[in-house]
Structure 1
Amino acid sequence: MNGRRDPLTIIALVLLIVGGLNWLLYAFNFNLVQAIFGDVRTSILAQLVYILVGLAAIYMLYPLYEMLTASAERPISR
C-alpha cells in the first residue's frame, strides 16, 4: 500500500474486516449482516453490504499486488 492512507483504502480495509468477522461468526451459525439488515433475499441493505464487501476485496487486489511485487531495494513504508 506504500504508506497510502487515502480514505478509499481505509474504507475498503474496514469493509474487509467486517466481512471477515461476519464469516467468522457464520462459522458458528450466526450471520451478523442478516441479524442487522434482514434476509439477503428480501433486504436491499443486506445485498448492498455484501456488494460493498465484494467490491472492497476487488479494490484491495492492486495494493496487494504492489506489496508482493515490491523490490527489496524499495522497502514498503508504513
Structure 2
Amino acid sequence: MRTLSRIALVLVIIGAINWGLIGLFQFDLVAALFGGQDSALSRVIYSLVGLSGLLCIPLLFARIGESKTDTPRQNIGQPSYATEFGQENDMTDINNRARQSDQTDDQL
C-alpha cells in the first residue's frame, strides 16, 4: 500500500505541474509528449492522474506526522515530557544503596 501511495503522489505532482503549465503558458505537456489530448496514451495518463488524486484524498484528513509504517518514529507535534535521555531514573534505589553502604561503613 505504501508503494501505491507513493506512485499516486508522483502522478498527482505530475498532474499539478501539467495544470500549472496550462494555466501559465497554455502548454499541455502531457498532450505534447503523448500525441495530443485525443490520443489514447494521453487519455490513459489523464485518467491515472485523476485516479491518483482520488487515492490521495485520505492525505487531506491524515494527522500531520502520522505514519502508517511499522517502524517506530518520534511523534511530531506531540509534546514529550520526558528528559532528553528517555525515561527518568528512579532515585530511591540509589538512595537506599547509599544508606546501606553508610550503615556497613559505620559497623566496621
Shorter-chain TM-score category? 0.7 to 0.9
1:42-61 deviation digits (Å, cap 9, x = unpaired)? x1100000000000000111
- Larger Rg computed on CA atoms: 2
Q: Residues 51-62 of structure 1 correspond to what in structure 2 (within 5 A)?
A: 51-62=47-58
1:76 aligns with 2:104: no
Amino acid in the other structure paired with 2:33: I
2:33 aligns to what?
A: 36
How many aligned residue pairs are there? 67
When the two structures are superposed, what TM-score results if normalisation uses the length of structure 1? 0.74
- Fraction of identical pairs, as percent: 40
Aligned-CA RMSD value: 2.0
Deviation at 1:63, TM superposition (A): 2.9
1:17-73 deviation digits (Å, cap 9, x = unpaired)? 0000001111111110011001222x1100000000000000111232233xx8xxx
Q: Residues 17-36 of structure 1 correspond to what in structure 2 (within 5 A)?
A: 17-27=13-23, 28-36=25-33
**Which secondary structure does the structure 2 equivalent of 1:30 belong to?**
coil
1:45 aligns to what?
A: 41
5+ unaligned residues in a row in structure 2: which ranges? 68-75, 77-108
Distance 1:8 1:39 in 2: 27
When the two structures are superposed, what TM-score results if normalisation uses the length of structure 2? 0.55
